[in-house]
Chain A
Amino acid sequence: MTAPPPSVWTTLQTLGSSTDFQTKVYRNDTAGLYLWVSYVEPMVDMEFVARSIFPYLFHCPFSSLEEIHRALPIDDAYISSDPNNVKEKLLEGYLFIRLHETDETGLLVKAQKTLERALTVPEVEFSVVGPKESFIESLETNLFLLRKRIPIDRLTVKMTTVGTLSKTKVAVVYIDGIANPDNVQTVLQRIEEVEFDEIIDSSYIVQIISDNRHSPFPQLLDTERPDRVAAVLAEGKVAIMVDGSPHVLIGPTTLVEFFSSFEDYFLNWTVASFFRLIRLFSVTFSILITPMYVATLNYHYELIPKDLLGTLITSRREIPFPPILEVLFLELTIELLREAGARLPTKVGQTIGIVGGIVIGTASVEAGLTSNVLLILVALAALASFTTPVYKIGNTIRLMRFPFILFAEIWGLLGVAFCFCIIVTHLLYLTSLGRPFLSPLYPPRWRDLKDALVRLPFTSQSKRPETLRTEQPIRFDGKKAKQKRDIDE
């Protein structure tokens, strides 16, 4: 025995088990007809319905659905008898109008409620100079923000739906003729193949479609800045926008891109390059300083400069723990503070800062649990890890420190070197949408170094990144850009 094929009637019956599904009967006096109007109440903008749909439904003389369709001043309306389509549309916020209760055919009219917050200032990637708008949860608004910046016909949007339950709309955006079709194809294919029920945010997508899902390094850059997305699309990258997520994914990306703040492009290239180098230095410092402390104090006293020896020994003398416990104690304290600060509301968060910074820090030194030299190093390392412009890589860096500390404890500097080798090997192996993650450092793309560790002036940026293999490698005429065309010269 097979189940009867679903009909519109049974679909409506199924929906009817939920109390927010309504079917109401209205009478059109002019035509002397009854109208059955079904809708899912929370999804429908009732004010809009009362203002723009009901006046036509009740006061126009008509005898068929076609006539109603013609009379209504609403674009998104059509007659359907496909039960699946009816169900989907009802859940999106359409009205379903029938002339008889048992009719299998009805008119679907869009009366969707749209609630979205206003555009705000980017909070994670705030910049002092430059545009102040950021993406929000609505995909339409986000696409609007993007199209406004790239008003050309070649900006292509490919929409798909992922998630068996969430039916999340995902848009793959790229500039046709610039982005490498292979990259676009890779993204589209991977999104098609997503097997998941409830996609809440773009960070779900990035974890599912990453080249290496177990790597602590994020392999797609996420940003909340429309200007940044527009800029990288022009470079030939591909953006993935997810409905309901204010963060847009960009790929293929490279490790160095995670250390470039978009503000780098708003400042003069000398200043921007300096800031970028500072950031790279601080990241290295942040990862290596506490492992170095453990390694030198445990194994390599002879490497400590003679003038520093006294300072270190006096600060360490009262400490009952070996360096490794001391370091883990302080590092974990800092992690606790960060985690507590992230969970608590802003007002209480400040208190945590004071408790952590002053009370725990100074008290643990006075109690003789940690040395004050180490306290300074750990605090600096924590500070340095927050200089990364992309939030996700900052987390990775804080995590990286711990294997380094353990190896430093076991083998000293040899262990640090060993751990470094493991991580570099991993990075060499890593790809982003199939493109090398460590480029332009390795494989060396000398030309791409113009915008990697330093950012050279815009006149030198006339070519698109080599590693992206774009369809159109030239951005603009570099020679022309370098000419000075002032009249007085």
Chain B
Amino acid sequence: MSMRTALLIGVTVALLCGCVRKEILDDINIESAVGFDEAGKEKIRGTIVIPVYKRGETANKTLTTVSSTAKDVLEELQYKTSEPLVSGSIEIALYGKQLAKQGIFPFIDQFRRDASIGTRLYLAVVDGTAKHLLEGNYGRQGNGIYLSNLLKQNIERRDLPKTNLHLFLKTYYADGKDPFLPYIRRVGEDVQVIGVVLFRGDRVVDTIGQSDMFYFKIVADGYSEGTHTVRLNNKKYVSIKNISTKRTISFSGPKTRPHIHVHIALEGIVREYKHGPFTSAVRRSVEKTFEQQIRSQTEALLRRFQEKQIDPIGFGDLAASRYRQFRHRDFYKHYSQLPIRITADVTIRDTGIIE
């Protein structure tokens, strides 16, 4: 290395060393959750949670303010903190139901542009206000981590369909699919997942309750690990744990008015059946009843989507991948009248270890 090169590197290093702003870990306030609510006319209430770390557990500090635009809400909170607020570690962003009905995209845009925020950020809509929910104290690791773990657990192991910032933006911009988000509510000192909210664009238009989430997840994700209780005709109940689901959607007929066929193949094991031995006759009847239930429930769900003119399953995108020169506009013109046929095939694999 010649003297000149060494000098050049030295000068560059010296001149550029002020170019990155330092954010020393213990000298910043790290937001872990944010919430947005409607606050009267043209006003927005923003709430943030800052974890206050103590040895062994984490307390929550909640700050809230009212402003007129989305970006200002979080900026104005800087006036209330002694150390700079940084948003790189946000785990979850919440939106009040009222705000969500008017459109949440202006409040998502900033997350999309901030390079320090990961695209696996969770978004959720709150029954009530986000402020009320964030002011509670949940778990030992702070509200942000508690809420994101709550959603993560329900997505990976239960019936909540997979959502995050990336998927929301993808479906928001996609022509053939509409976004959906988890729907949560504060119940005393706990938070509960109560369903899924469905969007048209960035506005909430419909909600799916807990009981339908299982069917929705099967069709939307093609996958579910939850446990589902099947009620047999003779008022007996059997609880079935879902171990494998395969969902196939096929199209036939003209591309503007295709026939949609949804086939669901499900394998499960019996978790609970307290009405005597689980014979093959019982097994057959459970399989049949479950198939019947899947068919009717899913059909009702899909019909509802057709009536509301929303497509959270993404039939439009799926059809676009099957047909040449597919036009989404033509497809959605007839969307509400498209015939959808649903078939189900349930197999009980295992009935338990001890007979």
A interface residues with partner B (beta carbon < 8 Å)? 296-299, 301-302, 304, 306-307, 309-310, 312-314, 316-317, 319, 322-323, 407, 410-412, 414, 422, 426
In the complex, which residues 307-330 of chain B have their Cβ closer than 8 Å to any Cβ of chain A? none
6 chain-A/chain-B pairs, Cβ below 8 angstroms:
A302-B88, A302-B118, A310-B142, A316-B25, A410-B13, A411-B16
> Closest CB-CB distance, B167 to chain A, in whole Å?
20
Q: Is the CB of B145 within 8 A of A306?
A: yes
Bound together, the chains give a CA A88 to CA B312 distance in angstroms of: 98
- Interface of chain A, helix or strand or loop or mixed? helix
Q: Determine if B88 and A301 form an interchain contact, defined as CB atoms under 8 angstroms apart.
A: yes
Are B53 and A313 interface neighbours, CB within 8 A?
Answer: yes
Q: How far is the CB of A320 from chain B (nearest CB, A)?
A: 11
State the Cβ distance, B204 to closest chain A Cβ, in Å: 28
| A317 touching B26, Cβ below 8 Å | yes
Residue B30 is within 8 A (CB to CB) of chain A in the complex? yes
Q: Across the interface, which residues of A come within 8 angstroms of B88, CB to CB?
A: 301-302
Give the residue of B19, B26, B89, B117 whose beta carbon is less than 8 angstroms from that of A306.
Answer: B89
Binding site for A on B (CB under 8 A): 1, 9, 13, 16-17, 19-20, 22-26, 28, 30, 32, 51, 53-55, 58, 86, 88-89, 91, 116-118, 141-142, 144-145, 148
| Of A302, A322, A411, the contact of B20 (CB 8 Å cutoff) | A411
CA distance A297 to B23 in the complex (A): 8
Q: Which residues of A contact B89 (CB under 8 A)?
A: 301-302, 304, 306, 309
A14 CB to closest chain B CB (Å) equals 47
Do residues B26 and A313 form an inter-chain contact, with CB atoms below 8 A?
yes
Please tell me which one of the listed residues B13, B16, B55 contacts residue A314 in the complex, with CB atoms under 8 A apart.
B55
Q: How far is B252's CA from A126's CA once the two chains are assembled, in angstroms?
A: 75
Contact of A301 among B1, B17, B23, B117 (CB under 8 A): B23
- List A contacts of B23 (CB < 8 A): 298-299, 301
Given contacts A314-B55, A316-B25, A317-B26, contact A301 B86 (CB under 8 A): yes
Q: Which of B20, B24, B30 contacts A309 (CB 8 A)?
A: B30
The complex places the Cα of A322 from the Cα of B17 at a distance, in Å, of 16
- Determine if A301 and B16 form an interchain contact, defined as CB atoms under 8 angstroms apart: no
**A252 → chain B, closest Cβ, in Å?**
22
Chain A residues in 8 Å Cβ range of B142: 310
Closest 10 CB pairs of A and B: A302-B88, A316-B26, A310-B53, A410-B17, A302-B116, A297-B25, A313-B53, A314-B53, A301-B25, A298-B22
Chain B facing A: main interface SS: loop
A473 to B351 alpha-carbon distance, docked (Å): 65
CA–CA, A410 to B148, complex, Å?
Answer: 34
B12: nearest residue on chain A (CB-CB)? A418
Whole-angstrom CA separation of A306 from B152 in the bound complex: 14
Contacts of A302 in B (CB 8 A): 86, 88-89, 116-118
- For residue A139, give the distance in angstroms from its CB to the closest CB of chain B: 37
Given A306-B89, A310-B51, A410-B13; A319-B26 close (CB under 8 Å): yes
Contact partner of B141 (CB less than 8 A), chosen from A299, A310, A313, A414, is A310
Query: In the complex, which of the residues A297, A307, A314, A407 contacts B24, with contact meaning CB atoms closer than 8 Å?
Result: A297
Chain A residues closer than 8 Å to B16, beta-carbon distance: 410-411
| Cα-based distance from A307 to B139 in the complex (angstroms) | 13
Give CA–CA (A304, B9) in the complex, Å. Answer: 30
Output the least CB separation between A15 and chain B (Å): 49
Which A residues are in CB contact (< 8 Å) with B118?
302
Q: Which residues from A are CB-within-8-Å of B26?
A: 313, 316-317, 319
Quick one: closest B residue to A316, CB to CB?
B26
| Assembled-state Cα–Cα distance A296/B24 (Å) | 8
- How far is A414 from B86 in the complex, measured between Cα atoms in Å? 20
Contact B13 A301 (CB under 8 A): no
Alpha-carbon gap, A369 to B51, bound state (A): 24
Chain A minimum-CB-distance residue to B86: A301
Q: CB distance A298 to B24 under 8 Å?
A: yes
Give Cα A477–Cα B12 distance, bound, in whole angstroms: 56
Q: Smallest distance from the beta carbon of A316 to chain B beta carbons, Å?
A: 4
Report the nearest B residue to A414, measured CB to CB: B20
Min CB gap A317→B, angstroms: 5
**A319 partner residues in chain B, CB cutoff 8 A:** 26
Residues of B within 8 Å of A312, CB to CB, are 25
Q: Are B24 and A313 in contact (CB under 8 A)?
A: no
Would you give the shortest CB distance from A404 to chain B, in whole angstroms?
13
- Supposing A306-B145, A310-B58, A411-B16 touch, asked if A299 and B53 sit within 8 A by C-beta, the answer is no
Contact A322–B141 (Cβ < 8 Å): no
In the assembled complex, the CB of A287 is this many whole angstroms from the nearest CB of chain B, namely 19
When the two chains form their complex, are residues B51 and A299 in contact, meaning their CB atoms are under 8 A apart?
Answer: no
Of B13, B24, B55, B144, the contact of A323 (CB 8 Å cutoff): B24
* Chain B: minimal CB distance from A427 (Å): 13
Complex: A316 Cα to B28 Cα, angstroms? 12
* Measured CA separation A422–B86 after assembly (Å): 32
User: Is A313 within 8 A of B25, CB to CB?
Assistant: yes
Residues in B with CB closer than 8 Å to A313 are: 25-26, 53
In the complex, how many angstroms separate the beta carbon of B135 from the nearest chain A beta carbon?
21
Candidate in B23, B51, B86 with the most chain A CB atoms within 10 angstroms: B23
Shortest B58–chain A CB gap in Å is 6
Shortest distance in angstroms between A129's beta carbon and chain B's nearest beta carbon? 43
Judging by beta carbons under 8 Å apart, are B144 and A306 in contact?
yes
When distances are taken between beta carbons in the complex, the residues of chain B under 8 Å from A314 are 53-55
Q: Which residue of A lies closest to B19 (CB)?
A: A411
User: What separation, in Å, do the CA atoms of A426 and B55 have in the docked complex?
Assistant: 45
By the criterion CB–CB under 8 Å, are B22 and A299 in contact?
yes
**Min CB–CB distance A470 → chain B (angstroms):** 32
